[in-house]
Structure 1
Amino acid sequence: MANVLVIDDEKDVCDYLVMLLKDEGFSAEFSTSPREIKAKIQQFGANLLLLDYRMPEQSGSDVVRELRADEQFQFLPIIIVTGLDGEEEKVAMLELGADDYVTKPFSSKELAARIRAVLRRSQQAEEEIKALSSNGINIDLRAHKVFLNQEEVYLTLTEFKILVQLLKSEGKVLSRDELRATALGNLNVADRTIDVHMASLRKKLDPLTKAIQTVRGVGYRYGTISSLSH
């Protein structure tokens, strides 16, 4: 049974979400103070964070940024709960490091499905035990760490999964559907979502951005710098 920690400044909302999660078979607790999140995560043994996007004490975006900068919580799966439905807001959430988002109103079934999908991706990453390396990139699959020229690069779980898939398929063009299935676990995710994750990954891997090529109308390909220059 997965432990889901709900973070929302409104206790009534927390109570409601905890009830939904328990009805769907999860173990759930909540906190109304985002500033105590790290202690609560450790105390509860949270496997996933369900985080409200707008809170007066500390915004959801600030919480995500803070957690992703902390090695201990770098790969903790995070789903944002938001009332915003615009593309820019959704893209911003993903770029910050959230693994998924759910837009209000939503059903308990949709919420549970999204949580299970994110947890599956996290579990699949944990089961990898070998290392990958290319172009000065070294990936420790057991520790979920990425190094570029011996300097650690901090990726979200989804970015990590995409990079692993690219390196495993070096030289091969991967369609967005393939990346959706392996990195996101959801074939209904929009192309724009894949592209956002890829743009963020390229930015973090600078100066190796050229190693990840866009193949128009198909998807992406990863290769050594020397091979791509020919």
Structure 2
Amino acid sequence: MQKRILIVEDEPAIRDMVSFALRKGEYDPVHAGDAREAQAAIADRVPDLILLDWMLPGTSGLELARRWRKESLTREIPIIMLTARGEENDRVGGLEAGVDDYVVKPFSARELLARIRAVLRRSREDDEDGSVGVGPLRIDGAAHRVFAQVDGGDQPVQIGPTEYRLLHFFMTHPERVYSRTQLLDHVWGGSVYVEERTVDVHIRRLRKTLEPHRLDGMVQTVRGAGYRFSASLAA
């Protein structure tokens, strides 16, 4: 079955161009011009990936991304932000809102398809990952869920797809220090261009995810070297 990709974009010319590229890439594109149409499309059938424009009427793409990362139906759907905002602070803002990647306008169909394939490939790799446990944290690979053992019971951890990949890598390689470049290679893939600053953003998001369970101290900064994941809760 073709992968369904939801295009949330209010400019018809861009929607048509992206749809044409997706059909050439053998994907199944679905259109939405605003937040209401996007919600209706998701309710009809959950897409495999969302292409989300930053500037939308009524509700911005950033607000939508934050909302979807909080809802169980959409939490694990990969999101690529389409934006004319190419400044670093804008890109970081999008990542912090919960998107998995971004493409700056104007972009080529070739670049867009490469980004989509990379994000979907990482998502498939997540599905194939097995279960693992470190200290009070446990990943159920088959269910694609994370649990924290707190006060004698398992509590589900609400986590986005990129943070899931990062956490899974850390938990399968605990007590070792990895530089930003190494994490980019292992988690994002060496063939995909992503800035090193992206790692810092997702580390913050992972810590924020673990904070309600008092486990954010497991993700440790090693000054001048990178990051380490440890069963110890040392800051």
Compute the TM-score of the two structures, normalised by the length of structure 1: 0.90
Give the direction of change, closer, same or farther, for the CA distance of 1:185–1:43 in structure 2 (3 Å limit): farther
Where does 1:62-211 land on structure 2 (aligned, <5 Å)?
62-128=63-129, 130-148=130-148, 149=150, 150-186=154-190, 187-206=192-211, 207-211=214-218
1:58 Cα deviation from its structure 2 partner = 1.5
Identity of aligned residues (%): 36
**CA distance in 1: counterparts of 2:67 and 2:118, whole angstroms:** 24
**CA distance in 1: counterparts of 2:85 and 2:36, whole angstroms:** 23
**CA distance in 2: counterparts of 1:44 and 1:134, whole angstroms:** 35
Aligned to 2:61: 60
Could you tell me which runs of 5 or more consecutive residues in structure 2 were left unpaired when the two chains were aligned.
none
**CA distance in 2: counterparts of 1:212 and 1:93, whole angstroms:** 22
**CA distance in 2: counterparts of 1:140 and 1:167, whole angstroms:** 12
What is the identity, as a one-letter code, of the residue corresponding to 2:225? V
Q: What RMSD over aligned residues (CA atoms) do the two structures have, in Å?
A: 1.9
What is the identity, as a one-letter code, of the residue corresponding to 2:220? Q
Aligned to 1:36: 37
Q: Name the SS for the 2:227 alignment partner.
A: strand
What CA deviation, in whole Å up to 9, does each residue of 1:23-81 have, x standing for no partner?
23322121113213233135355211001011112111121122111112111010000
Aligned to 2:220: 213
Greater shift in the superposed pair: 110-119 or 133-142: 133-142
What is the identity, as a one-letter code, of the residue corresponding to 1:133? G
1:156 Cα deviation from its structure 2 partner = 1.4
**CA distance in 2: counterparts of 1:57 and 1:67, whole angstroms:** 16
**CA distance in 1: counterparts of 2:70 and 2:142, whole angstroms:** 19
**CA distance in 2: counterparts of 1:140 and 1:37, whole angstroms:** 30
CA contact (8 A) 1:118 1:185 kept: no
Give the direction of change, closer, same or farther, for the CA distance of 1:37–1:143 in structure 2 (3 Å limit): farther
**CA distance in 1: counterparts of 2:83 and 2:34, whole angstroms:** 17
Give the direction of change, closer, same or farther, for the CA distance of 1:112–1:84 in structure 2 (3 Å limit): same
In the comparison of the two structures, how many residue pairs are matched?
227
